[in-house]
Amino acid sequence: MALFSGLDRQRDYRSLPNNILKFIVLYTLRPQLWVLFLVFVSFPFFYVSLDLPKTMINKIIGSQADTYSILGTEYPLIEALFLTAVAFLALVLINQGFKLALNIL
């Protein structure tokens, strides 16, 4: 396993670091950096998934207009609501995938 390369080292206790911090860095630095990378990549998806229901309620359902613009394209309100609901479902699935990946690591 490339992620846990520190575990592949020879188990000679005389070569273990005397400091616990050095031991943790030696054996867990790569997995911790990978988890940190996944956390930062997941933040935008998480933020949009929290903001999208607010947009659906305040801007689409509460709108007085007949159409709503999504990415520069005008849609009737029912279609816009359906598209945002599908986008919300996709974001929920993506966020759950990030949670799964973080818990497996």
pLDDT for position 47? 93
pLDDT at position 73, please?
A: 87
pLDDT tier at 100, thresholds 50, 70, 90: very high
Q: Is the predicted pLDDT of residue 13 greater than 70, yes or no?
A: no
Q: In the chain, pLDDT over 90 holds for what percent of residues?
A: 34
- pLDDT at residue 10 above 80? no
pLDDT at 46 over 80: yes
Buried b (16+ CB within 10 A) or exposed e, 48-68: ebeebeebbeeebeeeeeeeb
Task: Please determine, for residue 68, whether its predicted confidence score (pLDDT) is greater than 70.
Answer: yes
Please report the sign of the dihedral spanned by the C-alpha atoms of residue 21, residue 25, residue 31, residue 37: positive
Give the three-class secondary structure for 32.
Answer: helix
Q: What is the pLDDT of residue 7?
A: 55
